[in-house]
Structure formats: C-alpha cells, structure tokens
C-alpha cells in the first residue's frame, strides 16, 4: 500500500514512466495470452517434437511468456492435454451429412477421425479420461448422428454405433503406429519386425495357432476379394467393413427394404 504511493512519487518522472509503459505495451503487442493461443502452441510443439516435449515451460517460451502465466488460462497441465486432444480432432467433414447414404457417411466419419489421429499421433498418448463433452468431439458426434438420422435404430444404438466407429478409428491409428500400416491399402509397407518377432517367438508347440498363421507366409497378404464388390469403392479396412456389414444386418432385420447404401 505505502509502497505504491512511494512509487508514484518516485524519482522517475511521469514521462519516463509513460515511455516505459508504452514500451511494455509494445512488448505486449504480442497478441496477449489466451487459451486458444496456448493450446495452439502446444499442438505445434507436439506435432514437431512429440507429446513429451510439451512442458509448461516449453509452451510458455514458445509464446514468449513466463511459465506461470499459462496458469491464468488453463488450470493444470492435464486440462491442457484435454484441450489439445479435442483440438487435434479438428473439424468434421465439410460434406453435409444429410447428402450421404448412411454407409458412405459412416465411412467418411471413421476415415476422417483416423486421419486426424494419423496427423497428430500424440493424441494416442493422451488417455480418454473425460466424457466426450468437448466442442470438437461433440461436432464429430453430431455429424455422425446426422448421418444416422433416418436409420431404424434406437437412440442408444446410434450412440453406440458412433462410439464403436470412433473407437475403431482410434484403434486403427494405434495399430498403425505400432505395427506400421499393416491394415492400410498399400500392403507393401509392412513392418517386418512384427512378423519376424512372431516367427521367432512361436513354434508348433508354443502358441501353435499364431505359429500356423505366421508360417502360412501370407499374413500380410490382402485378399483380392476384399476389394468392395459394391462396385467402385476402394479397399476398405477389414474391420470397418465388418462393422458396417453388421450394422446393415441389423437394419435390414428391422426394415427389410431399407436402402443399404
């Protein structure tokens, strides 16, 4: 209290003070700290150097602020991670969901989420800890539910379907990160280490089923038939095809004449 009054009558003349203040303000010409800027910087760091490189200190330095300044906007590092996660999902497809058949729509949904995960692989290191109530999560959710509007499914079933496919996308991304694109269209790009590992760890008596599989020599061979026989579609991920076929089975059981596109 008395300290401020001392400062106001300090040897520093008011002009000098104003000049310094202006300089300070210029330094504040950096666009001001905000949650958005913090999250965006964190995502940039994670994209470049991995999630482990995202420390409060590093993020602050990236923005030109002191470490503790971040806490005026984020609460905790865990909160920051949640924001990063949601940001990484990005926007759902621009295509209007109502303009698509349910099958194409759900494929687009899953593929879009998968791409988001591949673009920001570090999301896989952030555990799913909160219910999906964040903005981007909800936008994707809304998009998927819009695709399913007319399907003869209960609300609960639509929600489950959406969770099934988003979970599948996350799993595919994790599998891809682990094994190296085993399930991707171009089947050449296979991490041989996994197969070699299986080969040395198994034997006719040790994990015989795995052994038989890996010894077939065709573990990473895509069945030619797997190309969609609907016509012109490209090769689907195996699991995605199964899930959608299973959904279709339920739909036609409910409404035999329902269009299966």
In angstroms, the CA 242 to CA 23 distance is: 63
User: CB-wise, 47 or 191, nearer to a copy of itself?
Assistant: 191
Q: Indicate the helix (H) or strand (E) that contains 119.
A: helix 102-119
Instruction: Report the C-alpha gap between 110 and 242 in whole angstroms.
Output: 13
Residue 128 engages a copy of itself in binding (rule: CB under 8 A) = yes
Q: Which residues have C-beta within 8 Å of that of residue 221, sequence separation ≥ 6?
A: 187
Choosing among DNA, a copy of itself, none, which partner's interface includes residue 114 (Cβ < 5 to 8 Å by kind)? Answer: none
Q: Does 48 contact DNA by CB under 7 A?
A: no
Query: 10 Å Cβ neighbour count for 106?
Result: 24
What DSSP letter does each residue of 42-84 carry, written as one string?
Answer: HHHHHHHH-GGG--HHHHHHHHTS-GGGGHHHHSSHHHHHHHH
Report the residue from 222, 227, 258, 260 that binds a copy of itself according to the rule CB under 8 A: 222
Q: Applying CB under 8 A, does 249 fall inside the site for a copy of itself?
A: yes
Per-residue CA distances from 56 to 44, 49, 87, 127, 236 (Å): 14, 14, 18, 19, 41
Our finding on whether 191 is near a copy of itself (CB under 8 A) is: yes
Contact 56, 67 (CB under 8 A): yes
Q: 242 touches which of a copy of itself, DNA, none (CB within 5 to 8 A by kind)?
A: a copy of itself
x/- map, 68-97, DNA, by CB under 7 A? xx-xxx--xxx-------------------
Residues 9-38 binding DNA (CB under 7 A) are 20-21, 24-25, 32-33
Among 53, 118, 213, 235, binds a copy of itself (CB under 8 A): 213
Q: Does 185 bind a copy of itself (CB under 8 A)?
A: no
- Interface residues for a copy of itself in 143-172 (CB under 8 A)? 143, 145-146, 149, 154-161, 163-164, 167-168, 170-171
| Spatial CA neighbour of 57 closest among 150, 48, 189, 45 | 45
Q: Which is nearer to a copy of itself, 21 or 250 (CB)?
A: 250
Shortest spacing between CB 214 and a copy of itself, in angstroms: 8
Show contacts with a copy of itself in window 96-115 (CB under 8 A): 97
Burial class (CB in 10 A: 0-12, 13-18, 19+), 209: exposed
Which stretches of the chain bind DNA, using CB under 7 A? 1, 3, 5, 7, 20-21, 24-25, 32-33, 53-58, 60, 65-69, 71-73, 76-78
């Amino acid at each position: 209290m008395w300290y401020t009054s001392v400062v106001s009558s300090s040897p520093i003349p008011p002009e000098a003070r104003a000049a310094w203040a202006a300089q300070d303000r210029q330094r504040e010409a950096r666009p001001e700290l905000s949650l958005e800027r913090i999250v965006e910087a964190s995502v940039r760091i994670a994209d470049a150097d991995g999630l482990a490189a995202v420390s409060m200190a590093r993020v602050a330095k990236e923005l030109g602020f002191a470490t503790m300044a971040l806490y005026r906007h984020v609460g905790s590092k865990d909160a920051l991670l949640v924001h990063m996660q949601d940001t990484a999902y990005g926007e759902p497809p621009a295509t209007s969901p109502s303009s698509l058949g349910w099958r194409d729509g759900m494929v687009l949904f899953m593929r879009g989420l998968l791409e988001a995960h591949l673009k920001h692989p570090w999301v896989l290191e952030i555990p799913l800890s909160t219910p999906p109530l964040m903005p981007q999560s909800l936008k994707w959710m809304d998009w998927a539910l819009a695709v399913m509007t007319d399907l003869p499914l209960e609300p609960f079933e639509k929600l489950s379907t959406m969770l099934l496919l988003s979970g599948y996308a996350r799993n595919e991304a994790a599998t891809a990160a682990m094994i190296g694109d085993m399930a991707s269209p171009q089947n050449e790009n296979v991490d041989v280490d996994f197969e070699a590992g299986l080969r040395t760890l198994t034997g006719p008596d040790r994990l015989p089923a795995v052994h038989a599989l890996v010894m077939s020599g065709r573990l990473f061979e895509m069945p030619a038939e797997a190309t969609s026989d609907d016509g012109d579609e490209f090769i689907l991920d195996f699991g995605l095809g199964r899930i959608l076929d299973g959904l279709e089975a339920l739909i036609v059981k409910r409404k035999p004449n329902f269009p299966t596109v």
